[in-house]
A and B are shown apart, each in its own frame.
Chain A
């Protein structure tokens, strides 16, 4: 019997396989950040252990940092201490750190791919659940807790039982005006918030092959929102072309060697998955979440659901969600008014996302009732946007143009949504209190968020009239 892509990567990284414990799996790349690493370093020190492979460990600061002017000192002393602790730990253990002064700083899941460190066939871990993002490159990438961060620092390995495999065949044609975000949101809506718990997903099919790397990252990023341990996409020429010539990508002969290895990373024709799902995207419309988990989602042309319209086992949770969100059943989404708009996060803060949002914003003004901000995923994304003049489109329209970081996705810094406020967000989680206590989050694509910022309520972006940037006017 053939092997799946997951089997191939897993098997290649088994260091030791004993009957009495899960296999010891080698880790090729360990990404760390300020929030989930300090206690791990403390553990190393207490046990007099060292970092086995500092050269396979990469650090950045992204979660709790401000996104305002970098020349202003930290106002939050607790966050400042956390950032200083990371600096000390990286210094003491010889780990490469892209700090706030680095031209490569950014959200950990944005910078590793753009530096060419994320590569096909690798095992990648990070103390962050959205590590699944890197699966877009055909790497086995998943989030871990702080105890496991310490384990990887000390041993460069993890004890891992094999997961079950789930094939999601995505067929049809993604309709005009819809995006990778709409694809993954509608998939989660169809399958449910915990459908893939215990599985590693492989996204397959014609639609996936035609996505750009950045779109594939958006899809794999949200695998965890279905409960999956990881999401994978078979690497192909789109992947290889993206990596080629990146800063840390292999060069010359090493590139040739790598390419031979990477081209062997596919699921064999006779491989068998534990579960298979087919999903036709031809009917997908722009998506908006209405509840407090990403599976509570509907199309922009729908209305906010009534409790009776939900499957029986989802009614109780649905009622609680609707109450928290403060939206009435049967309200058309186009009538839902917004206070904040956030364009950013490891799901949708890359250059293609900003270009798409800017195309909508061009020539318009943000509605008076809305506060809107764009937080580029990395310093590199920010620079590129500024070179292309995209920053000016946002600024002229009235958006805040920020420094890179996780920002309002989880509101660990000052970028929060206030109690009772409603936010259209390009991030990945609409949990209660995620963006701030009592904050009401609706997850959408960058295009949908951009349009909502202009009109002050949700609109169907498929009907949007784009303008030239010279004639800036209100909606």
Chain B
């Protein structure tokens, strides 16, 4: 069941780095856990911490960005490994929205499964947001999924695209597996006519 998302007003944290990969978001040593929760403490671990202490030169450690719920990023955000631990980690830390000029395919898709909204805006709009967030303390935006807009209380206003299906998925908090299982008879009849050319012995060896 996807957690519903309708709108959000929150402070923005800027991460001015291209190609942020999922290895950076959640390093591999934390992927051995078998849970879905509790990853927020490990977010950007190698960038955030040095010998267990917070690094003062990392942007998310600046007091003014603590408690932000919207992350502003650069192009190709979430590239690399398919690990869904990446959106789990960002969400657990507190980010529900990520705004960037482009996202890697698997990461973008994974966000929607976890009640998170990745928003693509143009390079110009992103530059403008970076300008605003770094010059105005406590800079907030409102993200409205129904109307597909990102606005602040003054000058910034942007429209974003999202497919109708993904929009519905988040607004309603759909159970995707349940909705596919409604088509079970179609899967049955597909299997009757579809050929598979390998056959495994059953069970483990």
Interface of B is mostly: loop
Q: Does A221 contact B (CB under 8 A)?
A: no
A143 within 8 A of B: yes
Give the docked Cα–Cα distance between A412 and B84 (Å): 16
Q: Is the CB of B205 within 8 A of A102?
A: yes
Contacts of B147 in A (CB 8 A): none
Q: Determine if B23 and A431 form an interchain contact, defined as CB atoms under 8 angstroms apart.
A: yes
Let me know if B57 is at the binding interface, CB within 8 A.
Answer: no
Closest A residue by C-beta to B110: A145
B32 touching A79 by the CB < 8 A rule? yes
A49 within 8 A of B: yes
- Does B18 lie within 8 Å of A433, measured CB to CB? no
Interface size on B, residues (CB 8 A): 60
A13 neighbours in B (Cβ, 8 Å): 194
List 8 contacting pairs A-B, 8 Å CB cutoff, sorted by A: A16-B183, A20-B168, A21-B165, A26-B190, A82-B32, A128-B82, A145-B110, A155-B187
Interface: B161 (CB within 8 A): no
**Which of A88-96, A297-305, A383-391 faces chain B?**
A88-96
A145 touches B190 (CB 8 A): no
Chain B residues near A16 (CB-CB < 8 A): 183, 186
Is B148 in the interface zone, CB < 8 Å from A? no
Q: A24-B183, A432-B46 are in contact. Are A147 and B110 (CB under 8 A)?
A: yes
Min distance, Cβ A296 to any Cβ of chain B, angstroms: 10
Cβ contact of A193, chosen from B24, B76, B165, cutoff 8 A: B76
Q: A78-B32, A146-B84, A197-B104 are in contact. Are A94 and B176 (CB under 8 A)?
A: no
* Per-residue A-contact encoding for B22-34, CB less than 8 Å = 1, 0 else: 0110011101111
Q: How many residues of A contact B (CB 8 A)?
A: 87
Question: Hey, what's the 0/1 contact readout for A41-62 against B, CB within 8 Å counting as 1?
Answer: 0100001010010111010000
Report whether B199 and A55 are in contact in the complex, using a CB–CB cutoff of 8 Å. yes
B residues near A316, Cβ cutoff 8 Å: 18
CB neighbours of B168 from chain A (8 A): 20
Query: Cβ of A94: which chain B residues have Cβ within 8 Å of it?
Result: 202-203
B180 proximity list for chain A (CB < 8 A): 24, 151, 154-155, 157, 159
Please, how many angstroms separate the alpha-carbon atoms of A81 and B33 in the complex?
8
Instruction: Tell me the bound Cα distance from A58 to B80 in angstroms.
Output: 23
Q: Does B105 contact A (CB under 8 A)?
A: yes
Q: Provide the residues of chain B in CB contact with A268, threshold 8 Å.
A: none
**Which one of A26, A42, A87, A249 lies within 8 Å of B198 (CB-CB)?**
A249
9 tightest A-B CB contacts, nearest first: A147-B113, A145-B84, A143-B82, A38-B34, A145-B110, A97-B204, A194-B76, A146-B84, A78-B32
For the complex, give the distance between the alpha carbons of A90 and B202 in Å.
11
For B200, what are the chain A residues with a Cβ–Cβ distance below 8 Å? 55, 58, 96, 117, 248
